[in-house]
């Protein structure tokens, strides 16, 4: 535990922000869990800023998953995270920026894993086209496997990303497009190479359909029950275990489906 003694008042906003950043840097460098601030003779126990930052993100992630972006208020986040409104404003500035931070925290890991999977597959292929199943698994399977790791967001983030993609606000569409841009370009190129007889426009459309199917699937079976009266006679654990195999089979079936009769085979060079 660290004890700090403040003998002069913090008279203005800039001084307070500077002091907060000093504490943030100090606790991050020294991995201090708590410290005591002696302010004009009054003792206060302070939680490190970095810990507060993560607690806000965790709370927001759960709430955005359950209620969606529009249905979640900043006050709901502060209540769930047990912080005041000033803490959210200090760390994130706005609800929109908070949502972006929640998504970016996991998407960075997801996109790194997707790139790693594709790099490894292409290295083993030694310049030859990949199998469509390898590409589909690298992009979509990686997302589903992240649900097995709580450190990477677990099922909460999986369901959040599904919900976000099926009911996104305009700023989220722009944000996701920017976050996915490099990864999607790499996978699109791999698909073009793997399916030289399929028109590129058709591949793009089929990838779009795969994104939609995956988003709806990972949003949870409660999404299915919203539009149908079908009951799934499986517990949640069983559904999750079988989801990857079921979804991969479905996506590959769509990707490999015969071309519509109105579409000619590709005449573009591969």
The residue extents of the domains of the chain are 2-46, 50-91, 106-255
Residue pLDDT, tens place only, 136-150: 999 999 988 887 766
Token digits for 257?
């489906």
According to DSSP, the residues that pair with 39 across neighbouring strands are 6, 42
Q: Which residue has the higher pLDDT, 238 or 56?
A: 56
Looking at residue 187, its pLDDT comes to 96
pLDDT at 154: 76
Tell me whether residue 214 is exposed, middle or buried, using C-beta atoms within 10 angstroms of its C-beta: 0 to 12, 13 to 18, 19 or more: buried
pTM for this predicted structure: 0.71
Categorize the per-residue pLDDT at 44 as very low, low, confident or very high, splitting at 50, 70 and 90.
Answer: very low
pLDDT tens, position by position, 67-77 = 988 999 999 99
Look at residue 25 and give its three-state secondary structure. helix
pLDDT tens column, 240-265: 668 888 899 999 999 999 988 776 55
* Confidence (pLDDT) at 27: 41
Strands (E), 40-96: 42-46
Is it the case that residue 12 has pLDDT exceeding 70? no
pLDDT digits 0-9 by tens, 158-187: 888 887 877 778 888 889 889 999 999 999
pLDDT of 74 reads 93
| 106-255 matches 50-91 in CATH topology | no
- Tell me which of 3.30.300.30, 1.10.10.60, 1.10.10.10, 3.40.50.300 is the CATH number of domain 50-91: 1.10.10.60
Q: Residue 26 — pLDDT band, cuts 50, 70, 90?
A: very low
Q: For the structural domain made of 106-255, what CATH number should be given? A: 1.10.357.10
Question: Measured between alpha carbons, how far is 111 from 117 in angstroms, rounded to an integer?
Answer: 10
The mean pLDDT of the chain is 78
pLDDT at position 225 is: 52
Q: What percent of the chain has pLDDT over 70?
A: 69
- pLDDT score recorded for residue 265: 58
């Amino acid at each position: 535990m660290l004890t700090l003694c403040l003998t002069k008042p913090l008279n203005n906003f800039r001084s307070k922000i500077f002091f907060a950043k000093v504490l943030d840097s100090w606790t991050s460098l020294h991995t201090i869990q708590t410290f005591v601030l002696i302010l004009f003779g009054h003792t206060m126990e302070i939680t490190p800023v970095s810990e507060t930052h993560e607690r806000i993100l965790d709370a927001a992630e759960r709430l955005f998953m359950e209620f969606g972006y529009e249905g979640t208020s900043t006050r709901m986040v502060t209540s769930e995270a047990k912080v005041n409104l000033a803490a959210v404003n200090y760390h994130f500035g706005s609800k929109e920026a908070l949502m972006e931070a929640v998504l970016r925290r996991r998407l960075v890991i997801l996109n790194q894993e997707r790139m790693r999977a594709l790099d490894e597959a292409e290295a083993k292929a030694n310049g030859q086209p990949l199998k469509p199943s390898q590409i589909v698994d690298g992009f979509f399977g990686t997302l589903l496997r992240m649900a097995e790791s709580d450190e990477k967001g677990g099922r909460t983030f999986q369901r959040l990303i599904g919900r976000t993609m099926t009911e996104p606000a305009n700023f989220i569409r722009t944000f996701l497009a920017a976050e996915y841009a490099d990864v999607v370009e790499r996978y699109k190129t791999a698909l073009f190479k793997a399916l030289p007889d399929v028109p590129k426009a058709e591949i793009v459309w089929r990838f779009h359909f795969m994104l939609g199917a995956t988003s709806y699937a990972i949003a949870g079976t409660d999404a299915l029950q919203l539009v149908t009266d079908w009951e799934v006679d499986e517990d949640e654990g069983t559904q999750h275990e079988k989801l990857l195999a079921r979804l991969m089979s479905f996506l590959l079936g769509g990707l490999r489906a015969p071309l519509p009769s109105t579409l000619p085979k590709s005449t573009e060079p591969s």
